[in-house]
Amino acid sequence: MALDIKAARPYPALFALPWSVPLEQWPEDQLAALPRGISRHIVRFAKVDGRILAVKEIKADIALREYAMLKQLRRLHLPCVEAIAVVTGRTDVHGEPLDACLLTRHLQFSLPYRAMISQTLRPDAATRLIDALAVLLVKVHLVGFWWGDVSLSNALFRRDAGEFAAYLVDAETGELREKLSNGQREHDLDIAQVNIAGELMDLQAGGMVPDDMDPVEVSNTIVERYHELWEALTQAERFDASDAWRVEQPIRSLNDLGFDVGELDITTDIDGTTMSIKPQIVEAGYHTRRLRHLTGLEVGENQARRLLNDLVSFTASKNRQSDDERAVAHDWLATIYEPITRTVPPQLRQKLEPAEMFHEVLEHRWYMSERLQHRVTIEEAVADYVENILPTKPDEQNVIAPDATPLQMTAR
């Protein structure tokens, strides 16, 4: 059987990987020692042409299906890992068949939930991760994707302006439909509750979350958070016809949640005294796209919201509200954002991605001003942050220490 590599674009360096060796036995010099989450399959991180790719060893039909599904989800602008290639037709040195491999691009500055909780000192870390997973679940359900295996293990998490953002990494059980029924959505929630409760019990047994935490009770929060978001995004809002000025309010609220509104379905009752407004959601990532349009920066949704707020403050401080917003954004980028992010010494740049570091500098400035009882300049804040705060942060960009032991992978 001939080796076959199906790739999204030409990737000659893939041929240099040891495809005739079972993934579990790949040589360490070709692997990156990144923390691995729990998976039912063998997963390794390979160094390929200066990049890091996640390699998952699975049956060929499953690999091809998941490859196609991840590409579809990316086209729908959903937060998920990027499918790079599928390698089939593998055989060992004796000619015996080996499972296929699915390759995805490693999501920089992301961590599995176990590593994220171990690095986060806040006691509500597990709840915040579940909140992020609920947001992700709402996003995929809005486009008709039934996940089928919702869990913390099947997502990666990145810091997003002090919160967490979740990215789908396992789509092998998922199905994409025109629209999901309420029963299908609730089925995903039932699966999520069971899986998350088990994952939290496992963390509790390992001493990674408090003993007095009830895993079942905490896992139930995904249902509450999910329904809260779903209703805000899909339910019609009713108000008196005399309050027609409130039509714009739902749009602003949905933008604040990070969603674009395509059009509004506005109806009145038979006597015209009550209006009902139902938004048609276009897609998530409102602030991300707006910041990209103004500055070209690619950041998370919460990070984009925070950076846009700082841009608004900059515009007001320079009295440039009447100027072209892209010109003002260019000046903010050149005089505020880039000088701050470039202040970080090269040896510390893998600690946090630039947008998250910028957010933390703004937070640090506020706390410094409060502590010192006077206004601290941004230059003073970034200097103090780089000297005293950033060096204490764990590395989150790429490879951890070569002799570090990745998180143990066990079957679920």
Residues 91 and 23 occupy one common structural domain:
yes
Predicted local distance difference test score (pLDDT) of residue 279: 62
Question: SS3 string of 220-239?
Answer: CHHHHHHHHHHHHHHCCEEE
Do 303 and 161 form a contact (C-beta atoms < 8 A)? Answer: yes
Q: Is residue 293 part of a domain?
A: no
Percent of the chain with pLDDT over 90: 45
Q: Which of 284, 282, 320 is nearest to 305 (CA)?
A: 284
User: To which H or E segment does residue 127 belong?
Assistant: helix 125-142
Residue at a domain's end among 232, 257, 274: 232
Mean pLDDT taken over the chain: 84
Predicted local distance difference test score (pLDDT) of residue 56: 95
Residues 63 and 116 occupy one common structural domain:
no
Give the residue numbers spanning the domain of 65. Answer: 4-106
β-pairing, 110-111 vs 100-105, is unpaired
Residues with Cβ < 8 Å from 162, sequence gap 6 or more?
A: 302, 359, 360, 363
Residues 217 and 247 occupy one common structural domain:
no
Q: Which of 236, 233, 277 is nearest to 258 (CA)?
A: 233
Dist. CA 75–CA 88, nearest whole Å: 24
Residues 259 and 165 occupy one common structural domain:
no
Q: Could you give the number of structural domains in the chain?
A: 4
Residues 123 and 225 occupy one common structural domain:
yes
For residue 157, the domain's CATH number is 1.10.510.10
Predicted local distance difference test score (pLDDT) of residue 306: 87
Q: Is residue 403 part of a domain?
A: no
Percent of the chain with pLDDT over 70: 83
Q: Is residue 409 part of a domain?
A: no
pLDDT in tens, 202-260: 988 888 888 888 999 999 999 999 998 898 888 777 766 666 556 667 667 776 766 66
Q: Is residue 324 part of a domain?
A: yes
pLDDT in tens, 121-130: 566 888 889 9
Predicted local distance difference test score (pLDDT) of residue 393: 81
Predicted local distance difference test score (pLDDT) of residue 212: 86
Residues 387 and 325 occupy one common structural domain:
yes
Residue at a domain's end among 106, 139, 172: 106
Dist. CA 156–CA 163, nearest whole Å: 13
Predicted local distance difference test score (pLDDT) of residue 213: 87
Residues 99 and 76 occupy one common structural domain:
yes
Q: Is 285 left (phi over 0), alpha (psi -120 to 50) or beta?
A: left
Cβ count near 145 (within 10 Å): 24
For residue 33, the domain's CATH number is 3.30.200
Q: Is residue 52 part of a domain?
A: yes
Q: Which residue has the higher pLDDT, 237 or 134?
A: 134
Q: Give the pLDDT band (50/70/90) at residue 305.
A: confident
Residues 361 and 318 occupy one common structural domain:
yes
Q: Lowest mean pLDDT: which of 106-110, 134-138, 158-162?
A: 158-162
Q: Which residue has the higher pLDDT, 37 or 395?
A: 395
Do 232 and 191 form a contact (C-beta atoms < 8 A)? Answer: no
Predicted local distance difference test score (pLDDT) of residue 217: 93
Q: Is residue 204 part of a domain?
A: yes
Residues 263 and 211 occupy one common structural domain:
no
Residues 198 and 184 occupy one common structural domain:
yes
pLDDT in tens, 93-109: 999 999 999 999 998 88
